[in-house]
Amino acid sequence: MNMPRPAFRDLSLALATVFCALLLPFPPAHAQTPGQTPAQKPAQAPPDETGPQTDNGPLIIKKKSTEEPAPPPPASDVPKLKNPDGATYSLRVDVPIVNLNVNVILDKTHQFVPGLKADNFLVLEDGVEQKVQTVRMTQTPITAVMLLEFAANSYAYIRDMQYSSAAFYHSLRPDDYIAVITYDLRTHILTDFTNNKDTVAQSLNSLQIPGFSDTNMFDALYETLDRTSRIEGRKYIILIGSGRDTFSKLTLDKMLAKIKATPNVTIFSIGTGALAQELGDARGQIGGIGRMNILQAQNQLKTFATMTGGLYFDPMFQGALPDIFSQINDSIRNQYILTYRPSNPKNDGTYRKIEVLLVDAEGKPLKMQDEKKKPVKYSVIARDGYKAKLPVE
């Protein structure tokens, strides 16, 4: 049963007629991205097969199967699109319970690490250890907004955005709900949340003629966070752009404050123009100020992702995109949900910093090995904190 998604307000799409001769046609949405294979539904795998043993040895990571991991059985017969259990998909304070979404992946292969237990997670809140009460794995569909920079500036940036958005489109599944928004001087809603891939394809294919040259990223991201905060459950923003901001009304500090005040949203940011920047730098076309502006833009994209438990990518070539979106899909769909009662129970509106570490039975950093007994590196991805809700008067 398909339940309707909350609708954004309708906005008219005003596209100028300049720069049309400079653009390549958008990559056909029906064309298959290199490395893309149709999604298959495998049989249910035995639970906790690769989990840590009762001894204190390193965790053995099995080689990643060519098939996708089997999703866990549904918790109930309630349609998934309602997201009836908000705690399943969100980080929130529910007086005084904290539900924390955590992803653990291998650095080299981007493989999700299954089978971890509550004793493997060390959660620090403002530097104080918290007692993890429950840990469970979940696999969920995606509710995401593609927020795309589409402005009349560099052809290379537009081309990279087009290829990246097309690659994400090809990674979607039938139960994923996606909205498409572009921004230049202001935001333009191309399509509301839909699971119709044809509708998404048409909206992406309409991006042929950019309008203004301004890239007001802060304003666009703020508006998108505000809209998605009205939607139940966990949401994702796929931010694809240069990271530059020209004339936003908001400052970076206000943007960061908005991110801190908006739980349940994870941002994955993908930089554009990396190859053009590299070539320009090699030819001496980018001076010291230009280089500083590029680094600042990249740092802003990375900060948005890190604060919300997402990932930042800066691909040089189109061939890296399938692997990038495979990693994003693995991070979004496979997660641990940690539950704990904070040692500081006050709902005083302060921002609580969170750090999540993996430990063994003795409380030492957990070590992982591959099937050949070689050590492997991993990353623990989670929000860097939450805002304790003020009591309702």
Do the Cβ atoms of 99 and 91 come closer than 8 Å? yes
Q: For residue 62, what pLDDT is reported?
A: 58
Q: For residue 58, what pLDDT is reported?
A: 64
| Domain-located, residue 279 | yes
Q: For residue 139, what pLDDT is reported?
A: 80
| Domain-located, residue 84 | no
Query: Which of 147, 111, 118, 153 has the alpha carbon at shortest distance from 133?
Result: 118
Residues 127 and 262 placed together within one structural domain of the fold: no
Give residue 216's domain range. Answer: 143-332
Last residue of a domain, one of 332, 353, 371: 332
Neighbour count for residue 368 (Cβ, 10 Å): 18
End-to-end CA distance of the chain: 38
| Domain-located, residue 42 | no
Can you point out the beta strands (E) in 90-245? 92-93, 98-106, 121-125, 128-130, 132-139, 143-149, 177-183, 187-194, 235-241
Residues 125 and 190 placed together within one structural domain of the fold: no
| Domain-located, residue 63 | no
| Domain-located, residue 307 | yes
Last residue of a domain, one of 299, 317, 332: 332
Q: How many domains does the chain have?
A: 2
* Cα→Cα distances 169→25, 53, 387, Å: 17, 39, 33
Residues 209 and 310 placed together within one structural domain of the fold: yes
Do the Cβ atoms of 245 and 215 come closer than 8 Å? yes
Residues 262 and 347 placed together within one structural domain of the fold: no
Residues 255 and 311 placed together within one structural domain of the fold: yes
Q: For residue 61, what pLDDT is reported?
A: 61
CATH number at residue 319: 3.40.50.410
Can you point out the beta strands (E) in 312-372? 312-313, 334-340, 351-358, 368-369
| Domain-located, residue 88 | no
Residues 132 and 186 placed together within one structural domain of the fold: no
Per-residue pLDDT of the chain (393 residues; tens, 9 = 90+): 444 444 444 433 333 343 433 444 444 444 444 444 444 444 444 444 433 333 455 666 655 554 455 555 444 443 443 444 444 444 444 447 898 989 898 877 667 888 899 999 999 999 999 999 999 988 878 899 999 999 877 788 899 999 999 999 888 888 899 999 999 999 999 999 999 989 999 999 988 888 788 899 999 999 999 988 888 777 899 999 999 999 899 999 999 999 988 878 889 999 998 888 888 877 877 777 878 888 999 999 999 998 988 889 999 888 898 888 888 887 788 889 999 999 998 888 899 999 999 999 999 999 998 888 889 999 898 888 988 876 654
Buried b / exposed e along 6-37 (16+ C-beta atoms within 10 A): eebeeeeeebeeebeeebeebbebeeebeeee
- The two tokens of residue 241 are 């752009």
Give pTM, 2 decimals: 0.64
Neighbour count for residue 328 (Cβ, 10 Å): 24
Residues 188 and 320 placed together within one structural domain of the fold: yes
Last residue of a domain, one of 287, 317, 332: 332
Residues 358 and 260 placed together within one structural domain of the fold: no
| Domain-located, residue 30 | no
Residues 248 and 150 placed together within one structural domain of the fold: yes
Supply angle C-alpha 76, 77, 80, rounded to 5: 85
| Domain-located, residue 40 | no
Residues 147 and 210 placed together within one structural domain of the fold: yes
Residues 283 and 180 placed together within one structural domain of the fold: yes
Residues 124 and 164 placed together within one structural domain of the fold: no
